[in-house]
Amino acid sequence: MLAGKRVLLIIGGGIAAYKSLDLIRRLRERGVKVRAVMTAGAQEFITPLAVGALTADHVFTDLFDRQDEQDVGHIRLARDTDLVLIAPATADRMAQMAQGLAGDLAGAVLLATKAPVLLAPAMNPAMWAHAATRRNHATLQGDGLHFIGPNRGEMAERGEAGEGRMAEPLEIVAAVEALFSAGPLQGKHVLVTSGPTHEPIDPVRYIANRSSGAQGTAVAAALRDLGARVSFVTGPATVPPPSGVTVIRVETAREMLAAVEAALPADAAVMAAAVADWRVENAGAQKMKKDGSGRAPALNFAENPDILATVSKSANRPQLVVGFAAETETVVEHATAKRLRKGCDWIVANDVSPATGIMGGSENAVTLISETGAEAWPRMGKDEVARRLAARIAEVLS
């Protein structure tokens, strides 16, 4: 798929720059022609000599280089490529891009290119979570740029961990392959929710369900493979999110609703999350303890927001809204009523009673409910369910 493609790699100034060396090797193994631009910061971590040895090409470093710019080299670099890849993409680089600054060679190339742009962010978790970075991220997404990562993990700073690690080279390669796939959903934005929600009882305990997030994760990956830009809003699932999608992590139903509304507009929404119907209204600020009376504390419940119904009736309603119904009895009847009640286009219904082993398992047996009736699918792996559903979505959107 990648043989003969041209990728311009912009290496930013972060400790994750060392991963770019392996990334170059992985891309070239697949027949990619890689040219590299190194920022001044990148050269503090790795050398142009190492990068040039791996790309087997000249390494570009200076906007005002007399030799490189004698034929307006930054414009040539910007145009003579199929993809611009920024890895690592630092917080500073994202801020410059959001403002349209072109004070160095990388900035000038990014303003001049007409090729797709893929960023692999890498920074301290506090920097990634900062409001300014979140605004810049949203701005760049709105401009049509693509993201892979960041991942969660240990940081270079001793004792620091969280979301901010650059995606691994093979994950970035997979995202590059997805961009070049030019599938039927190319240019479409699809919102996917996945996983359970955790509703606090106190700072230690919470109400949850047995959803692993496997089906929603598989749906997001299948849509990505068809070329869609996927916003993946996930609760605390037990399976990792797929690469090549924009991941928004939440805990509670109310957080999920806010993330979903922020991700709109979208061409389609697939609401696969197992959202808790109720939350504890009087959740304790401190851990609840036994008082020796033998009586359990009284918990007052409040109804959580209905995310599926909210999206279905939103002013930003996607063209296609797909809900999920996990039932333990009279599955088709309950799911059919749910579709009408929520106002969505389709419901993917399944039987999650304990005997089926579906909730938390690797297989699923679903019935697709639409205005034309109920279509039962045979039991199959969740990945295959996802591919079939993604193909149906592509038929509608394309």
pLDDT digits (tens, 9 = 90+) for 368-391: 999 999 999 988 888 889 989 999
Number of domains in the chain: 2
> What pLDDT is attached to residue 142?
76
Is the predicted pLDDT of residue 181 greater than 80, yes or no? no
Residue % of the chain over a pLDDT of 70: 95
Rounded CA gap, 344 and 329, in Å?
Answer: 21
Residues 70, 203: one domain?
A: no
Annotated binding residue 104: no
Annotated binding residue 313: no
Q: Which of 215, 230, 298, 302 has its CA nearest to residue 266?
A: 230
Residues 241, 130: one domain?
A: no
Residue 1 within a domain: no
Residues 10, 152: one domain?
A: yes
Sorting pLDDT into bands at 50, 70 and 90, what band is 191?
Answer: very high
The CATH number of residue 171's host domain is 3.40.50.1950
pLDDT digits (tens, 9 = 90+) for 40-83: 999 999 999 999 999 999 999 988 766 655 555 668 888 889 99
Q: Which of 182, 170, 185, 169 has its CA nearest to residue 82?
A: 182
Q: Are 390 and 222 in contact, with CB atoms under 8 Å apart?
A: yes
Residues 356, 333: one domain?
A: yes
Annotated binding residue 5: no
Residue 197 within a domain: yes
Q: Which of 35, 5, 33, 179 has its CA nearest to residue 109?
A: 35
Q: Are 349 and 369 in contact, with CB atoms under 8 Å apart?
A: yes
Stretch 211-220: mean pLDDT, rounded? Answer: 91
Residues 227, 311: one domain?
A: yes
Q: Which of 232, 228, 220 has its CA nearest to residue 385?
A: 220
Annotated binding residue 308: yes
Q: Are 87 and 19 in contact, with CB atoms under 8 Å apart?
A: yes
The CATH number of residue 357's host domain is 3.40.50.10300
Rounded CA gap, 231 and 138, in Å?
Answer: 11
Residue that terminates a domain, selected from 132, 152, 181 = 181
Annotated binding residue 125: no
Residue 116 within a domain: yes
Annotated binding residue 60: no
Q: Find the domain containing 107 and state its range.
A: 6-181
Catalytic residues: 209
> What pLDDT is attached to residue 30?
93
Residues 39, 127: one domain?
A: yes
Residues 268, 176: one domain?
A: no
Residues 119, 44: one domain?
A: yes
Annotated binding residue 19: no
Annotated binding residue 342: yes
